[in-house]
Amino acid sequence: MDKRLKYSYAEKKEQSRRVFAVFIYLLVFFVLYVSFTSFIFSMRNMGSDSMQPGIHAGDRFIFSSYLLYSAELQRGSIVLLDIEAGNQRDLFEVVLDGFIRFFTLQQVSISKRGSGLYIKRVIALPGDEVSMTNFVMRVKPKDSPYQGTEFEISEKYYDVTIPQVSALWDESLPFHANMDTLVVGENECFLLSDDRSNTNDSRNWGPVPISRIKGRALFRYWPLTRIGVP
């Protein structure tokens, strides 16, 4: 038998083995990536300016994906809210969405629930009393005799955007500057946007069930000029 032919056959076999090995490595890596980002951590892109001035459209975060309980939430934390929680996605959609988001650097998603995901800030926890005056929240923590502004009560520093509104924008209109006192229910929290203009948050949703919070922002990895813990 021609040695060159034998060598060529062996080389082709070895090349096929290498291609198969690369395919297996990529498959294992992708399965680990989807599992990791679906059940442990997730990467999310801020799609609007509703969290100005501290967070801008295009900022990207790593969120925890484990189930949050009330004891783990902190006033002032940035969280990922799934307003449509309860509508479960099938496994095929999870895998395909993870694949597309991975190869488009989180810019494209096929998830039917994408419009129901919001990045918001925790203002109050279960049992807290909250009210709003001139777009600034006042919070009386549960079991505390004292009330303070959201900035005094918060465990994290942040700033808000106070809109300039017309005198005709009275309390009969949505997203007005003032809100009567309410008590946050058990297993609920009160979430707001940092931009206090007409953005969706607990002013129109009301207190949100903690079960709908799917993660807490752990790290901002883009842009590099604002990298760090939010």
Q: Residue-wise pLDDT tens for the chain (230 aa)? A: 445 555 566 677 777 888 889 889 888 887 777 777 667 788 888 989 999 999 999 999 999 876 555 557 899 999 999 887 655 556 666 667 766 766 666 666 666 555 578 999 999 999 999 999 989 999 999 989 999 999 999 999 999 999 887 666 666 666 778 889 999 999 999 999 999 987 889 998 999 999 899 889 999 999 999 999 98
DSSP conformational letter for 207: S
Would the pTM count as exceeding 0.95?
A: no
Domains of the chain by residue range:
48-86+115-224
Cis peptide before 53 (omega within 30 of 0): yes
DSSP conformational letter for 225: G
Give the whole-angstrom CA distance, residue 183 versus residue 167: 29
CA distances from 26 to 23, 75, 89, 208 (A): 5, 41, 24, 40
Residue showing tokens 């993870």: 98
- Asked if the 48-86+115-224 domain carries CATH number 2.10.109.10, the reply is yes
